[in-house]
């Protein structure tokens, strides 16, 4: 009961201006700068910190995607994870890969690797779903501590301080459990060059979803992707009467 599983997702870098494909089937990703999802970086940092405190023996980084996903796993290894698992999903399958399929994959791996803790980012910055952690816990029938801003291991339980709308909520859950990382959980360390070089020697196992008995057929079909409509300039009016007239004109009242 000494292993942590961390999920890392390769997403379009947050500073890049995203462009919709000419056929409106999705966004342009070819050649676009990608990086590790910021919340996944925080998840990796937390997992590595727990290992450094000697609370766990091994941290395994997992990513689902095409060949380039191994670069993201390599960064996680450079931050201190011990080994990686690349679940290969390519082409159209990758375009339709969503939280339900990914959580099935993580659930299967958590069982296979006998993980005591699964740490994920709270959401990915490309789809903003905020679902994978919760679904993974449900599929495993494990407790979940989401939006974690503090994580403390107390014996075979985890104390999680959660960021919620009303403030902070502290819960204690039994392990094995799923935790999702929120912004203030920690500040991720840099993947420095000597660590990237060492990470090249760490193992990344390669497998397909079918090897885990997971069917990744999507139940969702994306019909169309469009840019948000250009924001039109507002109109200033001089008097309240003008305002009422304009609202009547536009059919609002």
Partner 1 sequence: MFPACRYSIQGVEMERFADEADVVIVGGGPAGLSAAIRLKQLANEQEKELRVCLVEKASQIGAHTLSGACLEPSALIELFPDWKERGAPLNTPVTEDLFSILTKKHRIPVPMLPGLPMNNHGNYIVRLGHFVRWLGEQAEELGVEIYPGYAAAEVLFHEDGSVKGIATNDVGIAKDGSPKDVFERGMELHAKVTLFGEGCHGHLAKQLYQRFNLRENCEPQTYAIGLKELWVIDEKKWRPGRIEHSVGWPLDRNTYGGSFLYHLNEGEPLVALGFVIGLDYTNPYLSPFREFQRWKHHPFIAKTLEGGDRIAYGARALNEGGYQSLPKVTFPGGMLIGCSPGFMNVPKIKGTHTAMKSGMLAAEAIFPKVTAEDPASETTGFHIPEYEENLKKSWIWKELYSVRNIRPSFHNYFGLYGGMLYTGVFYWIFRGKEPWTLKHAGLDSAQLKPAKECLPIEYPKPDGKLSFDLLSSVALSGTNHEGDQPPHLTLKDDSVPVARNLAIYDGPEQRFCPAGVYEYVPLETGEGMRLQINAQNCVHCKTCDIKDPSQNINWVVPEGSGGPAYNGM
Residues forming the site for partner 1 (CB under 8 A): 13-17, 19, 22, 30-33, 35, 187-190, 192-194, 196-197
As measured in angstroms, the least distance from the Cβ of 22 to partner 1 is 6
**DSSP structural state of residue 112:** H
As measured in angstroms, the least distance from the Cβ of 12 to partner 1 is 9
As measured in angstroms, the least distance from the Cβ of 4 to partner 1 is 21
* Residues in contact with 109: Cβ distance below 8 Å, sequence separation at least 6, in sequence order: 5, 62, 85, 87, 115, 212
Between 42 and 109, CB nearer to partner 1: 42
As measured in angstroms, the least distance from the Cβ of 36 to partner 1 is 11
Based on the number of CB atoms within 10 Å of its own CB, is 49 exposed (0-12), middle (13-18) or buried (19 or more)?
middle
Between 167 and 194, CB nearer to partner 1: 194
- Which residues make beta-bridge pairs with 153? 158
Alpha-carbon distance of 11 to 32, in angstroms, equals 10
Between 111 and 200, CB nearer to partner 1: 200
Answer for the pair 73, 205: CB distance below 8 angstroms, yes or no.
Answer: no
Between 22 and 229, CB nearer to partner 1: 22
């Amino acid at each position: 009961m000494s292993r942590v599983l961390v999920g890392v997702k390769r997403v379009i870098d947050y500073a890049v201006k995203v462009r919709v494909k000419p056929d409106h089937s999705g966004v342009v990703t070819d050649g676009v700068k990608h990086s590790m999802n910021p919340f996944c970086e925080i998840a990796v940092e937390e997992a590595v910190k727990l290992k450094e405190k000697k609370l766990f023996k091994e941290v395994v980084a997992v990513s689902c995607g095409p060949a380039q996903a191994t670069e993201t796993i390599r960064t996680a290894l450079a931050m201190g994870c011990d080994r990686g698992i690349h679940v290969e999903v390519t082409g159209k399958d990758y375009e339709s890969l969503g939280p339900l399929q990914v959580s099935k994959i993580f659930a299967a791996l958590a069982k296979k690797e006998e993980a005591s803790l699964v740490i994920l980012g709270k959401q990915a910055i490309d789809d903003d779903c905020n679902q994978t952690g919760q679904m993974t816990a449900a599929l495993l029938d494990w407790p979940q501590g989401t939006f974690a801003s503090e994580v403390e291991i107390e014996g075979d339980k985890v104390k999680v301080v959660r960021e919620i709308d009303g403030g902070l909520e502290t819960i204690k859950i039994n392990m094995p459990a799923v935790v999702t990382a929120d912004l203030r959980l920690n500040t991720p360390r840099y993947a420095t060059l000597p660590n990237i070089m060492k990470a090249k020697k760490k193992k990344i196992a390669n497998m397909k979803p079918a090897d885990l008995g997971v069917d990744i057929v999507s139940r969702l079909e994306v019909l169309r992707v469009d840019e948000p409509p250009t924001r039109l300039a507002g109109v200033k009016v001089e008097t309240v009467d003008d305002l009422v007239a304009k609202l009547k004109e536009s059919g609002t009242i």
